[in-house]
Amino acid sequence: MKILIVDDEAYARDKLRRLVAEHVADAVVSEARDGREALDCIQKQQPDLVFLDIQMPEMDGITVASQLAAPVPLIVFVTAYDQFALQAFDANAIDYLLKPYDEARFLRALQRVSERRSSAKKIQAEQHLLLNEKGRVTVIKLADIIRLEAADNYVMIFTSQQQHMMRQTLSGLQDRLGQGFVRCHRSHIVRLDQITQVLPAQKGDAELLLQDGLHLPCSRQHRDEVVQALAS
């Protein structure tokens, strides 16, 4: 696994590098000292996981996360300040390590990373939907689905290449999609790893910014569910 450690303090980078060396087999570790250097490293190296400090000179970690383009790595924020927790999870963080953390807390963060990677691999496996169109059966892999949208008695299924219409309800499809997807609105389901930001809106609602730049509505009834799913 390729891991990037981002922190402006050398001792903090050294601590993470030591813990990674002890607990992550076959890890390839690199380091960045500030936000701008982190963006450059992520673009060039495409790490699987980033341990990202929040308060840094030049550019803070929240801003770094907001500027990442697909494919977005898994992010564990590391900071001495707990007031950034909600912003961190809104930025699709896997976990939030509060300094000074111990080895046990680091291992819990690694467990969350492992669970998210396992979930992503399951989505990328042989899971699929079958769409029957006038006798022709189309196989739609869950790994290719970006989002689903209700349209009367049908569901529009959007992939990166095309869209399909299935005579079904969102509720009827939700259980078949698995934990890699989340209901964000009565008319919308989205794949978790497509969400890059959770943006506040009026009356407790929110908007989800996806990797392709699309904004999806997120109702207040589903906002906590979305944030919890992103954090798990």
Q: What CATH number should be reported for the domain holding residue 96? A: 3.40.50.2300
Whether residue 48 is found in the same domain as residue 110: yes
Whether residue 44 is found in the same domain as residue 101: yes
Domain carrying residue 15:
2-123
Q: Residue 183 sits in a domain of what CATH number?
A: 2.40.50.1020
In which order are the strands placed within the sheet that holds 206-210?
Answer: 195-200, 206-210, 215-218
pTM of the predicted structure, to 2 decimals: 0.55
Query: For 197, phi and psi rounded to 5 degrees?
Result: -150, 150
Residue type, 83: Q
Contacts of 109 (CB under 8 A, 6+ apart): 76, 94, 95, 97
Whether residue 78 is found in the same domain as residue 160: no
Whether residue 117 is found in the same domain as residue 135: no
What average pLDDT score do residues 209-217 get?
Answer: 94
Whether residue 102 is found in the same domain as residue 137: no
Count how many domains the chain has. Answer: 2
pLDDT at 4 (0 to 100): 97
Residue type, 90: D
Whether residue 109 is found in the same domain as residue 158: no
Whether residue 80 is found in the same domain as residue 179: no
Contacts of 137 (CB under 8 A, 6+ apart): 130, 131
Q: How far is CA 59 from CA 199, 200, 230, in A?
A: 20, 22, 24
Whether residue 41 is found in the same domain as residue 138: no
Whether residue 110 is found in the same domain as residue 14: yes
Q: Which tens digit of pLDDT belongs to each residue from 19-62? A: 999 999 889 999 999 999 999 999 899 999 999 999 888 888 88
What average pLDDT score do residues 213-225 get?
Answer: 93
Q: Is the pLDDT of residue 198 over 80?
A: yes
Residue 68: count other Cβ atoms within 10 Å of its Cβ.
19
Whether residue 107 is found in the same domain as residue 186: no
- Using CA atoms, how far apart are residues 183 and 228, in angstroms rounded to an integer? 12
Whether residue 215 is found in the same domain as residue 150: yes
**SS3 (DSSP) at 54:** coil
- Using CA atoms, how far apart are residues 79 and 57, in angstroms rounded to an integer? 14
Q: Which tens digit of pLDDT belongs to each residue from 126-153? A: 678 888 766 678 889 888 999 999 998 8
The residue ranking higher by pLDDT, 132 or 79, is 79
